[in-house]
């Protein structure tokens, strides 16, 4: 028996294809600004061309000579190279990032990534592996079975760990109804006619702990542990070098677990016990102070903060649908070291955009000055104009090389 839950258009592959198409169709703020200026500039070039032809002819100049000068001026003054200066570097950077497991959703996002000057990281599933395990059950198997039944519909990594532990013990999971998930707090469901709540345990623990309540009474406490993700300390150090500020840890977990992971990763700014709206408020607080925050998360709890941040990156392998939809970029392979690498790539793309604009402006200015002050042959003007356009395009395409992706 085969059951299809979603249309093929909703599959992961189809969504990635749609995101790539969307990224190719978007325009970065710099590109939009250039196009806005280019429209007015083009009108000015046409008016100047007509004046450059009409005035000399009215004063008795040779018509053929005036026409050639005006035609040469229009060709060399056209802003083709300027318009092409922005998108090749950004689209090349998007393609290179994609080959290395980072899906940047748009040219806007790629440009914004390079501007971040502060980073905030979620803990579970982001800084740590997305597969926590139950290390201790302070209670009986019946309470664990009820907790697993209540957690079964949840997509949170801790919920999957509770379910996995119950199944590993061979426990039968009753059917749950009236399931409700409260992001950052826990879940509630009715199991065998009893109300079961699974929520964060109060107090400080060395590991993550959740409390199981059955009909309002404490039935068990489950301890869970989660290992630091491979490459996390190196990624944190690289992000600190790039932004000049050590990343912060924003987590809904208890202070003890947060402090332990932060110490292993090299983080000093730790904010624990945060609800989803409190994470978002912490990000807005930095934004109001003038910072451009990069938020990295994976769960439903992180979605408000991802939306509030200047730029958001989601961990793709275990990330929730809402986090993947909200983020500006997705790390498909869950490699933390890819995050500083894509930020550094974005900065290189931004530098190439500036280089291209300077190069294009210099070539246009030199050719226009030559045509107005002296005699610029039409073939040479065409070669200079087209050559500068090709040069700008090739300069932007340099980011397609594998060497452009360097660990920061």
- In this structure, the answer to whether residues 154 and 215 fall within a common structural domain is yes
Provide the domain count of the chain: 3
Domain annotation covers residue 13? yes
pLDDT at 163 over 90: yes
Rounded CA gap, 51 and 31, in Å?
A: 30
Rounded CA gap, 368 and 399, in Å?
A: 30
The CATH number assigned to the domain holding 159 equals 3.40.1110.10
Domain annotation covers residue 95? no
pLDDT at 408 over 60: no
Rounded CA gap, 103 and 16, in Å?
A: 8
Domain with 238, as residue range(s), is 115-129+228-341
DSSP 128: B
The CATH number assigned to the domain holding 275 equals 3.40.50.1000
Residues with catalytic function:
122
List 181's β-bridge partners, or say none.
187
- In this structure, the answer to whether residues 217 and 363 fall within a common structural domain is no
Q: Which of 225, 259, 294 is the last residue of a domain?
A: 225
Q: Which of 228, 235, 227 is nearest to 338 (CA)?
A: 235
Domain annotation covers residue 14? yes
Rounded CA gap, 233 and 231, in Å?
A: 6
- Residues 88, 91, 95, 97, CA torsion sign: positive
Q: Which of 307, 326, 341 is the last residue of a domain?
A: 341
Please give the pLDDT value at position 347.
Answer: 94
Rounded CA gap, 352 and 89, in Å?
A: 6
Q: How many CB atoms lie within 10 A of CB 243?
A: 19
- In this structure, the answer to whether residues 140 and 120 fall within a common structural domain is no
**Cβ distance 315 to 331 under 8 Å?**
yes
For tokens 């941040």, the residue is: 309
- Tell me the pLDDT of the chain averaged across its residues: 85
End-to-end CA distance of the chain: 49
Please give the pLDDT value at position 80.
Answer: 82
Please give the pLDDT value at position 286.
Answer: 94
Domain annotation covers residue 191? yes
Rounded CA gap, 164 and 173, in Å?
A: 11
Q: Which of 199, 225, 251 is the last residue of a domain?
A: 225
Please give the pLDDT value at position 64.
Answer: 83
- In this structure, the answer to whether residues 312 and 232 fall within a common structural domain is yes
pLDDT at 258 over 90: no
Rounded CA gap, 311 and 110, in Å?
A: 9
**Cβ distance 253 to 273 under 8 Å?**
yes
> Which tokens in the block code for residue 307?
């939306």
73-91: per-residue pLDDT in tens? 888 888 888 888 888 899 9
Please give the pLDDT value at position 33.
Answer: 62
- Residues 198, 199, 200, 203, CA torsion sign: negative
pLDDT confidence bin for 22, thresholds 50/70/90: low
387-400: per-residue pLDDT in tens? 988 999 899 899 99
pLDDT at 255 over 90: no
Please give the pLDDT value at position 40.
Answer: 77
Rounded to an integer, the average pLDDT of 324-347 is 91
Rounded to an integer, the average pLDDT of 303-328 is 85
0.85 exceeded by pTM: no
pLDDT confidence bin for 386, thresholds 50/70/90: confident
CA-to-CA separations, 277 to 182, 257, 258, 283, 307, in angstroms, rounded: 12, 21, 18, 10, 11
342-360: per-residue pLDDT in tens? 999 999 999 999 999 899 8
Q: At what angle do helices 255-265 and 232-243 cross, to 10 degrees?
A: 80
- In this structure, the answer to whether residues 73 and 151 fall within a common structural domain is no
Q: Which of 396, 380, 407 is nearest to 76 (CA)?
A: 380
Rounded CA gap, 14 and 9, in Å?
A: 5
Longest dimension (CA), the chain: 105
């Amino acid at each position: 028996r085969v059951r299809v839950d979603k249309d093929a258009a909703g599959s992961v592959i189809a969504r990635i294809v749609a995101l790539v198409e969307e990224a190719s169709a978007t325009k970065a703020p710099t590109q939009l600004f250039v196009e806005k200026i280019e429209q007015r500039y083009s009108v000015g070039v046409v008016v100047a061309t007509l004046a450059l032809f009409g005035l000399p002819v009215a004063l008795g100049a040779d018509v053929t000579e005036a026409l050639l000068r005006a035609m040469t001026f229009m060709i060399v003054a056209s802003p083709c190279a300027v318009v092409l200066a922005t998108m090749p570097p950004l689209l090349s950077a998007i393609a290179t990032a994609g080959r290395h497991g980072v899906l940047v959703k748009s040219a806007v996002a790629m440009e914004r990534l390079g501007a971040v000057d502060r980073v905030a990281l979620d803990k579970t599933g982001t800084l740590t592996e997305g597969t926590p395990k139950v290390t201790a059950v302070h209670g009986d198997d019946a309470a664990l079975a009820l907790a697993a039944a209540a957690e079964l519909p949840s997509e949170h990594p801790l919920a999957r760990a509770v379910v996995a532990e119950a199944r590993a013990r061979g426990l039968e999971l009753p059917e749950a109804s009236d399931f409700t998930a409260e992001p950052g707090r826990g879940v509630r469901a009715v199991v065998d006619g009893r109300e079961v709540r699974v929520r964060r345990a109060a107090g400080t623990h060395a590991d993550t702990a959740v409390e199981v309540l059955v009909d309002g009474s404490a039935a068990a406490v489950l301890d869970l542990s989660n290992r630091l993700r491979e490459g996390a300390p190196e990624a944190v150090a690289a992000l600190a070098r790039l932004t000049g500020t050590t990343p912060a840890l924003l987590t809904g977990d208890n202070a003890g677990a947060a402090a332990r992971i932060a110490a292993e990763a090299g983080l000093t700014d730790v904010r624990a016990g945060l609800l989803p709206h409190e994470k978002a408020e912490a990000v807005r607080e930095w934004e109001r102070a003038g910072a451009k925050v990069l938020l990295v998360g994976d769960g439903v709890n992180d979605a408000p903060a991802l939306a509030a941040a200047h730029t958001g990156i989601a961990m793709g392998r275990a990330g929730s649908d809402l986090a993947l939809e909200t983020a500006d970029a997705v790390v498909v392979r869950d490699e933390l070291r890819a995050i500083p690498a894509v930020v550094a790539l974005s900065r290189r793309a931004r530098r190439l955009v500036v280089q291209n604009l300077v190069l294009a402006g210099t070539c246009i200015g030199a050719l226009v000055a030559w045509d107005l002050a002296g005699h610029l042959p039409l073939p040479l003007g065409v070669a200079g104009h087209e050559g500068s356009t090709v040069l700008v395009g090739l300069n932007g395409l340099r980011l397609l090389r594998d060497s452009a992706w360097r660990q920061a």
